[in-house]
């Protein structure tokens, strides 16, 4: 799609009433797919740092039998510890755990012998997580860390009220020619490399 990033395309789709669902080890394919005329499910391959072979092996295991629990998922897949953490942070394990931090707790507990996570050697199932759910801001940060985008509310919603002097993009057409205006937004794409004169084009979403 040329200069437009995946994050920009998703935001544009949402403005046209298309719903985007997060990656899920229980429901996603390797690539994103169209579920209905107005719904798109992100693929497991959108999680940054997750290898294609590990995703394909997990999908083959799921085809044989759906994952029954976080422990069952960890036993029957080939993701390394870093990939497991990325999947948990992205919310891809929420279909097996109560929330993202619970998934992270389970991933660490089943993948280490540290007493902080494993209170009983050889435990088949991780103990319930004592960690609280992520806040909206923490989920947003986790989305951009693991996916480079979010299917939740746009980040500018969190700070719009703090920027009363910033012009929304939709209002710029009402400005006077030559007038200086203040804008603000989330940078979703930077041109690399810059131009010969040192200019860098960015996509700024508000």
The encoded tokens of residue 20 equal 């985007």
Does 151 map to a domain? no
pLDDT-derived band at 193 (thresholds 50, 70, 90) equals confident
The encoded tokens of residue 123 equal 């435990």
pTM of the model: 0.81
Phi, psi of 166 (to 5 degrees): -80, 135
Report which of residues 2 and 174 the model is more confident about: 174
Does 1 map to a domain? no
Contact 3, 203 (CB under 8 A): yes
Residue-level pLDDT at 4: 75
Identify the residue whose tokens are 């997990």.
Answer: 58
Rounded distance between C-alpha atoms, residue 49 and residue 78, angstroms: 14
Does 67 map to a domain? yes
Distant-in-sequence, close-in-space partners of 79: CB < 8 Å, separation ≥ 6: 50, 54, 58, 87
Residues of the chain above pLDDT 70, percent: 90
Is the domain of 177 the same as that of 99?
no
Is the domain of 108 the same as that of 174?
no
| Residues 109-116, mean pLDDT to the nearest whole number | 56
Which residue range is the domain that position 160 belongs to? 156-205
Where does the chain show beta strands of DSSP type E? 19-21, 33-36, 39-41, 186-190, 202-205
* Number of domains within the chain: 2
Is the domain of 15 the same as that of 88?
yes
Rounded distance between C-alpha atoms, residue 186 and residue 48, angstroms: 20
Nearest alpha-carbon partner for 118 in 104, 133, 103, 108:
108
Across all residues in the chain, what is the average pLDDT? Answer: 86
């Amino acid at each position: 799609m040329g200069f437009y990033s995946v994050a920009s395309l998703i935001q544009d789709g949402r403005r046209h009433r298309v719903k985007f669902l997060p990656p899920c080890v229980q429901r996603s394919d390797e690539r994103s797919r169209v579920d209905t005329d107005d719904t798109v499910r992100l693929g497991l391959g959108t999680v940054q740092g997750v290898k294609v072979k590990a995703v394909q092996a997990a999908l083959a295991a799921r085809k044989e039998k759906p994952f029954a629990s976080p422990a069952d998922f960890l036993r029957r897949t080939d993701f390394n510890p870093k990939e497991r953490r990325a999947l948990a942070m992205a919310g891809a394990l929420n279909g097996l755990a109560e929330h993202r931090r619970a998934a992270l707790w389970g991933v660490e507990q089943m993948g280490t012998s540290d007493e902080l996570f494993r209170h009983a050697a050889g435990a088949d199932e991780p103990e319930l997580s004592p960690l609280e759910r992520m806040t909206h801001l923490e989920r947003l940060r986790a989305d951009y860390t693991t996916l480079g985008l979010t299917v939740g509310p746009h980040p500018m919603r969190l700070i719009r009220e703090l920027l009363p002097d910033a012009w929304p993009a939709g209002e710029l057409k009402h400005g006077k020619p030559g007038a200086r205006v203040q804008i603000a937004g989330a940078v979703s794409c930077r041109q690399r490399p810059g131009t010969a004169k040192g200019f860098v084009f960015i996509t700024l979403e508000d």
